[in-house]
Amino acid sequence: MSGNTFGRSFCVTSFGESHGIAIGCVVDGCPPELELTEADLQPDLDRRKPGTSKYVTQRKEDDVVRILSGVFEGRTTGTPIALLIENKDQRSYDYEKIKQTFRPNHADYAYVQKYGVRDHRGGGRSSARETAVRVAAGGIAKKWLRQKFGIEVRGYVAQIGPLELALKDWSAVERNPFFCADPSRVPELEQFIDSLRSEGDSVGARVSVVASNMPVGLGEPVFDRLDAELAHALMGINAVKGVEIGDGMRVAGLRGTEHRDQMTPQGFLSNHSGGISGGISTGQDLVCSIAIKPTSSITTPGKSIDEEGKAVDMRTTGRHDPCVGIRAVPIAEAMVALVLMDHALRHRAQNADVVADTPRIPGSAA
């Protein structure tokens, strides 16, 4: 299998190239009788789409999603839900000049070696544009998780380059173009991104996602642990180079007495583990983070090669984000939601009859 399907019980099969006719996906396994219209999915697409502020790429994409199947009279029927996003902005002349060359740190070179051929227009299949369909599919999962369990999956930008950004206020996230949860930092970010753009450079970012109101018991014990599947989902987002659950890489420096999340009948005393123990959700908030590399599509020239293997100097023009990590927030939320929904369905396949004698203790987001 060529890896364009995600999930086992709730399966998303993605297709489409950046500058082709359309991108889209088929969502298989959604339970019937969920109320669903395009209006449920469009808001997250709008959060991800380019051109919404001067701090992200100025490419214009409407990203209007249509539901082609699987919904009848406003409710899911249990059959596959096909989602389609037509590519309005297919002009590829921007890319003619890079047709014969490989952009450094892009998939171009590896694609040609792997397939012998590539669709050079805007990166084709390797373009982050493909993530729009994940956001759309994730919207279905988000809605189902909310209705079924009350789960909320929310993300924010926790770091842009050298600037670490605290989670102060969830409601602030949607009110600035940086998905920043600390409104006091927004002017500083505006200035930083402006200066980057004028320098012809880009910068990395860190995004965190939190799922609250988690049920206990999601995840399978060995290979398909909940954290392992989250890592699969999140590392599969374009430009992501690191994934953390809870304290993440910092645990390498911690002691057992610091890290262990002690339990009391009133709940957990801490959440260093990010809501997962032994690969299974504990009922605490699920907390995970990703690091997104700085895009190498920058105007500062760099060394590269062409299709014949000869040296070239490469300078990306066109309409690019100075910090691609910003728009990764809805994508990361979507991937987390897809994993949770898949595991919720898998869990009940095997364990629908289970009644645990031990009472569930409250989770703790601390």
Instruction: Establish if 227 lies at the interface with a second copy (CB under 8 A).
Output: yes
Instruction: Establish if 122 lies at the interface with a second copy (CB under 8 A).
Output: no
Segment lying near a second copy (by CB under 8 A), choices 40-48, 52-60, 120-128, 172-180: 120-128
Provide the minimum distance between the beta carbon of 184 and a second copy in the complex, in angstroms, as a whole number.
20
The answer for residues whose C-beta is within 8 angstroms of residue 174's C-beta and 6 or more apart is: 47
Site for a second copy in 88-107 (CB under 8 A): 102, 104-107
User: For the window 278-317, what string marks contact with a second copy as x by the rule CB under 8 A?
Assistant: xxxxxx-----x-xxxxxxxx-x-xxxx-xxxxx------
Q: Decide: helix, strand or coil at residue 243.
A: strand
Annotated binding-site residue? 92: no
Could you say which of 88, 99, 175, 250 contacts a second copy (CB under 8 A)?
250
- Distance separating alpha carbons of residues 120 and 357, to the nearest angstrom: 58
Instruction: Establish if 362 lies at the interface with a second copy (CB under 8 A).
Output: no
User: For the window 124-163, what string marks contact with a second copy as x by the rule CB under 8 A?
Assistant: xxx---x----------------------------xxxx-
Instruction: Establish if 318 lies at the interface with a second copy (CB under 8 A).
Output: no
Note the helical H segments in 97-169: 108-115, 131-149
Site for a second copy in 37-76 (CB under 8 A): 66, 68-70, 72, 75
Provide the minimum distance between the beta carbon of 289 and a second copy in the complex, in angstroms, as a whole number.
8
- Distance separating alpha carbons of residues 49 and 66, to the nearest angstrom: 16
Task: Indicate the residue among 171 and 222 with the shorter CB distance to a second copy.
Answer: 222
Could you say which of 118, 129, 142, 197 contacts a second copy (CB under 8 A)?
118
The torsion angles phi and psi of 216, rounded to 5 degrees, stand at: -90, 145
Segment lying near a second copy (by CB under 8 A), choices 45-53, 56-64, 175-183, 267-275: 267-275
Q: How many residues bind a second copy (CB under 8 A)?
A: 165
Which helix (H) or strand (E) segment is 339 a member of? Answer: helix 328-351
Token pair 């701090």 in the structure block, residue: 55
Q: How many CA atoms lie within 13 A of 245 on its CB side?
A: 23
Provide the minimum distance between the beta carbon of 46 and a second copy in the complex, in angstroms, as a whole number.
22
Could you say which of 236, 315, 318, 365 contacts a second copy (CB under 8 A)?
236
- Distance separating alpha carbons of residues 47 and 174, to the nearest angstrom: 8
344 and 148 Cβ atoms separated by less than 8 Å? yes
Segment lying near a second copy (by CB under 8 A), choices 43-51, 53-61, 171-179, 229-237: 229-237
The torsion angles phi and psi of 338, rounded to 5 degrees, stand at: -60, -40
- Distance separating alpha carbons of residues 277 and 287, to the nearest angstrom: 12
How would you label 335-364 residue by residue, b for 16+ Cβ within 10 Å and e otherwise? bbbbbbbbbbbbbeeeeeeeeeeeeebebb
Backbone CA torsion sign across 161, 163, 164, 166:
negative
- Residues making up the annotated binding site for NADP(+) are 48, 54
